[in-house]
Structure 1
């Protein structure tokens, strides 16, 4: 997949294209429905497939107080989109200038002049342009004038209660520690990516050395607790997907037994490994199942006994995980 970070980077002869536009936060089942429709539409003609998205949630500029945490960072998003089989992704920087661009200007500059779009796909709630003035109806009117078709792809919803698959729903599940249901909506286990940094080294003192992720790791951190999952180390070339995967027991929280950790942290103990040197490396930590909540223990011995139990339960959970989850454990 080709990654463009500005419309000016797109070669003049790149089009024609079929385009899907959206925030694509998480690249969940609803997003993939749009992308899969785009791929099918492009199969019968000689056009390229392009996802158009932004480097942040537009609310971060328009209404910061209402902006939720993103499910994935921009690097994660680009990687997830690349795995769908599309030809290119255009990641637009959403700043004050982008927020103030009129909807008609966006269509002409990005879709017509930049991508030479022949077909544009959007979700049912798609809005764009200054003040959210652009919608599917405007796209259709401009498409009739400028030579592209528009299709609104129906929402993907739960058969049980009809709830629409959304990033909001997935965030709610992660806040509850419900990794298994979040995984179903995402189509993959949730994960975070960040650099391994030095911590208090308390895990090493207890016989369970951990890889501590930096506070600026990309991705949505689930509820405090202990999880079964995997740690994937990047190769020296920083290619995440070709890294080595290690089974892990993962702790999320502030370690209430010692009460000296000021901020929530994610630390992963790689099962049966005591001498891995991952400091300074970029790793992905993938969550498969929540084992328990975060609690304070009365004394070191009780904590160590519980950590042995956590490791055993993590090993069991990873062994029992469905094959599709084990195969989808990395970005």
Structure 2
């Protein structure tokens, strides 16, 4: 899959293409259903399938106080988009200069001249251009003027047996993660929720207690679930050597037993006290909530509970 971060990087004469526009945060099952179908249609028509997405999220610019916690960083978003079979993704930097374009200018420059779109796939609530001046009617009118078809997609909802008419959405995933319901979030994502970041030095209390942990840097990508202890997986993705998935117990919270004030994400790889992960990039995947964060009256009680956490993590992960 080609990945461009500027319209100028798109090769001259690229296309013709089928294009869709969106943030695609999390690349959940609804996103993938639409994209997989789009890719199949593009293949049948002998065209390229392309996504135009944005970094940062537009609300970071327009409404920073209401900007959502992103489920995935750009690295994971691109990996997940690539899995749908797309030919290319344009990650457009979302700047004031870009945002101030008129709806017509955006369509002409990016979709028509840049990507040579023959079909543009949009939802009924599509908005684009300065101050969201463009909507579905605008896109249909511009399609007629510039010679591309507009395919309108409806919201994708779970199968009837799931018992809910609610559409797949990134907002729904955020609600579940905010409540610690990572197993339910995985049902919408089609995979475990993930975080990616560099391992930094912590207080080394875990090592002293017999459970050495990898502490994630504060700027790690991916929404942090609710405080608690989770069963999950850790994969070293960068640094001295990549590794296979390793089972882990992941703790999120402020370490109340030690009167901590800083919220941290740290992972203990089961049965491993020989790992040196400092300064390496790792991927964490959250499978199941084991318990909420608690304050303990003694170190003995804490260690006993951590030992129980590890046992429960083994069961949850099947290791």
Aligned residues: CA RMSD: 1.4
* 1:65-84 → structure 2 map (5 Å cutoff): 65-84=65-84
The answer to whether residue 212 in structure 2 is matched with residue 203 in structure 1 is no
The CA distance in 1 between the partners of 2:170 and 2:15, in whole Å, is 31
Q: Deviations over 1:27-77 (max 9, x none)?
A: 112211221121121121221111110012111111112211111112221
Provide the secondary structure at the position in 1 that maps to 2:256.
coil
Please, which runs of 5 or more residues in structure 2 have no aligned partner?
A: none
Contact 1:34 1:122 in 2 (8 A): no
Give ranges in structure 1 of 5+ residues lacking alignment.
Answer: 321-331
**In structure 2, C-alpha distance between the alignment counterparts of 1:76 and 1:103, rounded to whole Å:** 29
The TM-score with structure 2 as length reference comes to 0.96
- C-alpha distance after superposition, 1:74-109 (max 9, x if no partner): 222112111211111000011111111111100001
For 1:53-72, list aligned pairs within 5 A: 53-72=53-72
Say which SS state the counterpart of residue 285 (structure 1) adopts: strand
Secondary structure at the aligned position of 2:284 is classed as strand
Aligned: 1:277 with 2:276: yes
Q: Which one of 198, 223, 227 corresponds to residue 224 of structure 1? A: 227
Matches within 5 A, 1:37-48: 37-48=37-48
SS in 2 for 1:41: helix
- 1:146-196 residue CA offsets vs partner (Å, 9 max, x unmatched): 111111111112432311221111100000111111001111100100000
User: Does residue 135 of structure 1 match 2:138?
Assistant: no
User: Paired residue for 1:154?
Assistant: 154
Is 1:166 the counterpart of 2:165 in the alignment? Answer: no
SS at match of 1:119: strand
SS at match of 2:318: helix
Higher mean Cα deviation, 306-315 or 14-23?
14-23
User: Residues of 2 paired with 1:148 and 1:34: CA distance?
Assistant: 19
* TM-score in terms of structure 1 length: 0.93
- Following the alignment from structure 2 to structure 1, what is the Cα–Cα distance between the partners of residues 32 and 214? 32
Structure 1 ranges of 4+ moved more than 3 A: 235-238
Contact 2:54 2:94 in 1 (8 A): yes
Please give the alpha-carbon distance, in whole angstroms, between the structure 1 residues aligned to 2:268 and 2:187: 25
Map of 2:190 onto structure 1:
187
Shift of 1:124: 2.8
Q: Distance in 2 between the 1:226 and 1:212 partners?
A: 14
1:244, distance to aligned residue in structure 2 (A): 1.6
Moved more, 25-34 or 292-301: 25-34
In the alignment, what sits opposite 1:314?
313
- Of 18-27 and 157-166, deviating more is 157-166
CA contact (8 A) 1:136 1:150 kept: no
